[in-house]
Amino acid sequence: MQRDYIKWYSPSLGRDMELLAYGHAGFPVVVFPTSGGRFFEYEDRGMIDALAPKIDRGELQVLCVDSVDQESWYNRGAHPADRLHRQNAFDAYLALEFTPFVRNRTSWDRMGSTGCSFGGYHAINFALRHPDMVTYAVSMSGAFDVPQRFLDGYYNNDAYFQSPLDYLPNLNGGMLDRLRQNYYVLAVGNGDALFDQNVKLAHELGSKLVPHVLDVWDGFGHDWPWWQQMAHKFFVQ
């Protein structure tokens, strides 16, 4: 399996950003790590092995980006507005730097996104905010009610536009038309504390006639052995 370590200085974030890329051909998928996780987490936790059959066949390329969660959502020492500003900068890195890199590397003008737990939030949020870039998103045990969890009661337009449960109900027009051309997966265990958030997001997607599936697993579901099975189901089978 082709495996490449890549790093460049990000003007959007003002620091170096690292990633790992796997595969030589096929549909590209960006992977977001769990809370505070790093770009090498997916490999360390056996997720690349779970996807290896499709990567080896040249049908899938996996690109694992680094996280800035400790500088944004989890940076309790910063004012909530500054945390949101950092999240906006991360979105700029993804849209203005990472996406052109993917296009140049893979020759694909579209990609998928995925992640586990808080990475599931990033995967869905990135896909919903940029439907022309991301056409297939798979969240595994995702968390979506981020303003309530992280911002200590603070709320502004930046918080609104980073919260799928807030902005999705109000989408219409061309943006909604583009979402309806894509597909979204919410995989979650029925014993997961985040189950209700996934049900709410699925309801909002359904009310907007956006193609999606709420894939409910029997049990807790919020751990790597479960996520390996979920990844295999939605990317390999």
| DSSP states along 102-170 | HHHHH--S-EEEEEETHHHHHHHHHHHH-TTTEEEEEEES----HHHHHSTT---HHHHHT-HHHHGGG
Check whether 237 has a pLDDT greater than 90.
no
DSSP 1: -
Condensed to tens digits (0 to 9), the pLDDT of residues 102-139 reads: 999 999 999 999 999 999 999 999 999 999 999 999 99
Alpha carbon distance 139, 23 (integer Å) = 21
Amino acid type, 99: T
pLDDT of residue 14: 98
Contact 142, 198 (CB under 8 A): yes
pLDDT digits (tens, 9 = 90+) for 179-199: 999 999 999 999 999 999 999
Of the candidates 127, 148, 117, the one whose C-alpha atom is nearest the C-alpha of residue 41 is 117
pLDDT-derived band at 11, boundaries 50, 70, 90: very high
Whether the pLDDT of residue 49 is over 90: the answer is yes
Read off the pLDDT of each residue in 138-165 and give the average, rounded to a whole number: 95
Mean pLDDT over the full length of the chain: 97
Secondary structure (DSSP) of 11-66: TTTTEEEEEEEE-SSSEEEEEE-STT--TTHHHHTTHHHHHHHHHHTTSEEEEEE-
| Claim: this prediction has a pTM higher than 0.95 | yes
- Domain 3-235 is in which class? alpha beta
Phi/psi of residue 53, nearest 5 degrees: -55, -45
Asked if the model's pLDDT at residue 36 lies above 90, the reply is no
pLDDT of residue 32: 98
pLDDT of residue 41: 98
What residue segments make up the domains of the chain, in order of their start? 3-235
